[in-house]
Structure 1
């Protein structure tokens, strides 16, 4: 039997081989092995030899018949004459006696092995002891197969979870993300139907977003009051709810789907983010099925994955919105710089015009129309002068608010802001941060703008992914102790003709570029008594160095 257990390809094949040996050894008329279904708590014939067709697919409640009695009480039963045994259920006229032994694992009956004879009193106490030993061996073989199957399933589920996590990270459309979650749940849970519902917190209603496994389409506009049904309970108590038999409950949620797909069991779990429900994930089976602890943990993990993925996508969308705002702000900054430069260039010639006009000492007669023209010219010159002064005054930014900041923390915070964009572009980062705290007197927003600008430039230089390395250290520059940051990417480098002018305004090597990013970076750093340099660039990447004086 141990050889059978090690050579068999699956538990059914092993049980058939065992039953063949049992029937031959005991010269039995018929034999069967029935296992207890953990969902229905009924005995189901797994393999048999010699049973009539009517007895092959029968399901016995625990306690019914000789086999059911053995399964319920966990004790062997030898019947010498079935005609005088009230517990015997007649399947064949030829059967005269029966011997049944329980298959027990860890004090729990998992099945029954039964042999029948066409002779009365065909089995002895010795036969019973032998069959009990066989039942014990059979239980071990079945348990071994179950364990291997369980490990295989867990391995497949783990692979599926990892694949799902990778797939979810790459989704940047909410509808596509939710469809993927539903599809992966259907596959990983091996259920007949998976459903994902989104919670509308204002109306307190649940609406179906996606269904996987249905045989036909259903009304996608159907809604459910979140206070009703098991879904409402799951949301209210923020825990997983299981319904083993939908037919015996008062559940009426989406009854068209439940009846149309002949669904019988359901498990649902709230999709939570920071303690608040954002939706429901549900899995259905078309048979009575009790979800075990392993399946429940797996389902909870899927729901947790879903919550994180949905929130990540929302954060990514918010990041894109903020990027658009930053781009608009860049344009406004450009417009302001242009206006200031134009005003500055106009002021000098305007001042010359004003001085020369005043020196002309044009004193015309009151009746001379030129006197009126001269007054208009003087008025318009002063008007232009006022406009120029207003533009220049507006362009003068007041002293920015500065506080004490650690360069290391500014780098970490900046990387956190663009982490989703880095993932999307398949870019990894490495940080070699100085162990000493490099504290500078700086405007946090402006220095983060500097670092973000350099990161975004590096991302655009690596369309197929790559690495960005940050190195933070202390260095004496012009007899001043400075905090330095080296930023190196693995992009294609800067074009040779642009290297000397990359910090000039409106210089860009990209069609969509404004040419302001690095000029703004340099201006911000110089306003902090620091600066930036291009250290090296080429086909293997670009390296830049920026520094700001440290606090004394």
Structure 2
């Protein structure tokens, strides 16, 4: 009959259903009044009742025995069947019911390791005989493998569910930018996945000196009123500082734990603390409490560490989002002032270059008589450009400024060089051009401005040489390179930001303007150290004609 029962139990079943069936068989075979199947919790090395007949729920939940304690504890320790005809005469007996008179228990052994105990009781003295002992021992022997397989299957199933939940939580957290909502989801998920009594998140303050309670799941208002925890000299602080998880089997016995009174009221026993680590630092600590002393199983630690990592990433994303929003608000507040300043500086920068050319050409009043026709043409053209710039400003850069057209980039460069070489010759700087750039599409005046800025900067920085290189890339885009033999740009200087300049009297608007125009044209502009001449090298890539 026992063999048939075991055969019927083969295959994956829920552990609770399986244990109930085995226990029902044990009680039926022996005619017992009550019975229980007690399994060993490896994390705590304690025996806990997993299935019961005839016992009150409060007794089932409250009973946890150390191996070696009580009749069942003795059986687990010695791996032997034990029959006690009168428990009142046995000092090992731990009373769960005053009516019990006799007890019979057999170990559940798998590969020489005890995994639990089958136990039956009776209100009669000497209620069990040798046949009952044999039946219980046989049932225990045959069911051990089935129980172990069911527990393994259940653990894998539970772990799979935990991992699925972690993936879902990670996906959800990635779309949440509210810190409160992130922590609410995390604490709730941790309590469910790790079967915790209370879960809390403490975050480091701005100075990194204290851990502030930011969220919790479970517990009463008393826990919410706990003060900040100093990083120095505290258990949780050490977790944040070392960035390593910590397990305390019983916080009431831990000398460094400061909130024992609250722990007693909240019925908190074991604690798992996991740092919220980013690649650079710890943001705080995820704290998980259970209501019974003991260790946390490996699965629980793995889940907690994974959840802490997701939390840290989500908090980091939320902080980045907050900074973006704050930056946008600040930008809107200063936008009008910045725009006015930028327009004024931009206009000044653009006017300065043609004025310099005119000044070099005209010189003193008496030199006017010696100015040839080509010089006058250049001077008049540059004066016309000043007039166009001022008109564009007054017309808010009108439609004329934004009209795209196809134009010859080579002729535009030649036009700019006719001006730039005047300034270059006054500094004994030679300008060399290599390659041809062909036709491109864009706003001609704006591209003129970009090239003029880069050439002027190169001439200004050069000791004796400037090289301009033009080539067509395989993808059809046009690349222009501007190299000089000057000192280059120091590391760390954000040269493309407005009002940043390496020149003594520079406005700091040229490269910013150039970058803005290039980006608006769908191109790129980059700086690097020149391999050709040893100074600065600016590379501009613009779309060609499709």
**Length-normalised TM-score, structure 1:** 0.57
Cα offset, 1:268, TM superposition: 0.6
Which of the numbers 163, 169, 174 marks the counterpart of 2:168?
163
2:514 is the counterpart of 1:532: no
Distance (whole Å) between structure 2 residues aligned to residue 181 and residue 56 of structure 1: 31
Paired position in structure 1 for 2:116: 111
Paired position in structure 2 for 1:210: 215
Structure 2: state its 5+ residue gaps.
359-367, 369-382, 394-418, 430-450, 455-469, 478-515, 527-537
Paired position in structure 2 for 1:277: 282
Cα offset, 1:284, TM superposition: 1.7
Task: Please give the per-residue CA displacement for 1:230-277, whole angstroms capped at 9, x wherever unaligned.
Answer: 112223433111122222223554567535533222111222233532
2:475 is the counterpart of 1:484: yes
Please give the secondary structure, in 2, of the residue aligned with 1:67.
helix
Paired position in structure 2 for 1:21: 25
**Length-normalised TM-score, structure 2:** 0.58
Which of the numbers 130, 142, 149 marks the counterpart of 2:147?
142
Cα offset, 1:518, TM superposition: 5.5
Of stretches 240-249 and 73-82 in structure 1, the one that deviates more from structure 2 is 73-82
Cα offset, 1:154, TM superposition: 1.5
Which of the numbers 139, 146, 151 marks the counterpart of 2:156?
151
Which of the numbers 282, 301, 305 marks the counterpart of 2:310?
305
Distance (whole Å) between structure 2 residues aligned to residue 57 and residue 185 of structure 1: 22
Q: Which has the higher contact order (CA 8 A, sep 6+)?
A: 2
Distance (whole Å) between structure 2 residues aligned to residue 174 and residue 49 of structure 1: 48
Cα offset, 1:56, TM superposition: 6.0
2:38 is the counterpart of 1:31: no
Please give the secondary structure, in 1, of the residue aligned with 2:220.
coil
Change in CA separation of 1:334 and 1:146 when aligned onto 2, cut-off 3 Å: farther
Paired position in structure 1 for 2:9: 5
Distance (whole Å) between structure 2 residues aligned to residue 116 and residue 529 of structure 1: 89
Paired position in structure 2 for 1:64: 69
Please give the secondary structure, in 2, of the residue aligned with 1:87.
coil
Change in CA separation of 1:53 and 1:188 when aligned onto 2, cut-off 3 Å: closer
Paired position in structure 1 for 2:105: 100
Task: Please give the per-residue CA displacement for 1:42-77, whole angstroms capped at 9, x wherever unaligned.
Answer: 434443445699976673443333222112222222
Distance (whole Å) between structure 2 residues aligned to residue 251 and residue 29 of structure 1: 47
Distance (whole Å) between structure 1 residues aligned to residue 216 and residue 35 of structure 2: 45
Distance (whole Å) between structure 1 residues aligned to residue 274 and residue 25 of structure 2: 48
Change in CA separation of 1:20 and 1:237 when aligned onto 2, cut-off 3 Å: same
Distance (whole Å) between structure 2 residues aligned to residue 17 and residue 109 of structure 1: 20
Distance (whole Å) between structure 2 residues aligned to residue 90 and residue 262 of structure 1: 24
Please give the secondary structure, in 1, of the residue aligned with 2:119.
strand
Would the aligned equivalents of 2:476 and 2:544 in 1 still touch at CA under 8 Å? no
Matches within 5 A, 1:219-368: 222-253=227-258, 258-274=263-279, 276-315=281-320, 338=347
Cα offset, 1:159, TM superposition: 1.7
Change in CA separation of 1:123 and 1:52 when aligned onto 2, cut-off 3 Å: farther
Structure 1: state its 5+ residue gaps.
350-358, 360-380, 400-442, 447-478, 487-514, 536-552
CA-based RMSD: 5.2
Distance (whole Å) between structure 1 residues aligned to residue 216 and residue 178 of structure 2: 17
Task: Please give the per-residue CA displacement for 1:508-539, whole angstroms capped at 9, x wherever unaligned.
Answer: xxxxxxx96755556969x957531475xxxx
Task: Please give the per-residue CA displacement for 1:275-334, whole angstroms capped at 9, x wherever unaligned.
Answer: 532311111223335211121122112222233333444455666788888997898766
Paired position in structure 1 for 2:380: none
